[in-house]
């Protein structure tokens, strides 16, 4: 079943950052939809809770050098 996670992410400064976050998250098994906005400091993720946890999603973003609030 799909769940949605709305994260506040700081450190994204341009469209390239949005793309980096989106591309990396979509590679994670279980991630279905990603919407990233550097202007809003927001990353919304729809995911299959039987395949991936919010912790993995957060760690993936942090691994790119951004801060998840």
Nearer to Cu ion, 40 or 49 (CB): 40
Specify the residue, 22 or 58, whose C-beta has the smaller distance to Cu ion. 22
Taking the complex as a whole, how short is the minimal distance between the CB of residue 35 and Cu ion, in angstroms?
Answer: 16
Q: Which of 2, 3, 8, 14 binds Cu ion (CB under 5 A)?
A: 14
Q: Which stretch binds Cu ion (CB under 5 A): 1-9, 16-24, 29-37, 52-60?
A: 16-24
Identify the sign of the CA torsion 62, 68, 40, 51: positive
| CA dist., res. 27 & res. 14, Å (int) | 21
- Using an 8 Å Cβ cutoff, are 43 and 24 in contact? no
């Amino acid at each position: 079943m799909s769940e949605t996670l709305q994260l506040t992410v700081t450190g994204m400064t341009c469209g390239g950052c949005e793309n980096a976050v989106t591309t990396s998250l979509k590679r994670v098994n279980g991630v279905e939809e990603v919407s990233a906005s550097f202007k809003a400091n927001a990353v919304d993720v729809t995911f299959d809770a039987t395949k991936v946890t919010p912790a993995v999603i957060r760690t993936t973003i942090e691994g790119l050098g951004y801060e998840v609030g």
